[in-house]
Amino acid sequence: MELRSGRERKQIEVSEWAEIIPCIYVRPLSAGDVDKIQRKHKDFINNPTVAAMVDLIILKAEDENGDKLFSLEDKAFLLGEELSVISAVAQEMFNDVTSAEAAEKN
């Protein structure tokens, strides 16, 4: 438990949401997080759908106190957002995984 709680959180600023959400905080994706997403979205790693990206945001987005920012009740709101916003937020959350995979290939 100590190792997991000590992981540094990343800050993501979403200008389109700045009035209601000043900053999103995200801990690095764990193997368990990816497993949870892939149970619902089979090819999440290679072909993330919009629904998968929204589920990732719901799973990982926290406020400054470490509390979840979104719940399943917010899914309709997130699906109604511009694709560019959802894609950018999900990509920021996923960057650590893709950069780690690229490093392993080198």
Q: How far apart are CA 52 and CA 38, in angstroms?
A: 9
Both structure tokens of 101: 């995979």
Chain position carrying tokens 């106190």? 65
In a domain, 105, yes or no: no
CATH number at residue 84: 3.30.2220.20
Residue spans of alpha helices (H) in 1-106: 2-5, 31-40, 50-60, 75-79, 83-105
The pLDDT score that the predictor gives to residue 95 is 80
Chain position carrying tokens 């690095």? 28
The pLDDT score that the predictor gives to residue 103 is 40
Both structure tokens of 58: 């719901």
In a domain, 104, yes or no: no
Q: Which residues, including other chains, have CB under 8 Å from residue 99's CB and lie 6 or more apart?
A: none
In a domain, 103, yes or no: no
The pLDDT score that the predictor gives to residue 63 is 95
Both structure tokens of 21: 């959400």
The pLDDT score that the predictor gives to residue 4 is 52
Q: How many domains does the chain have?
A: 1
In a domain, 81, yes or no: yes
Q: Which of 53, 1, 57, 8 is nearest to 28 (CA)?
A: 8
pLDDT in tens, the chain (106 residues): 444 555 689 999 999 999 999 999 999 999 999 999 999 999 888 888 999 999 999 999 999 999 999 999 999 999 999 999 999 999 999 886 544 444 444 4
In a domain, 93, yes or no: yes
Tell me the residue range of the domain where 72 lies. 2-98
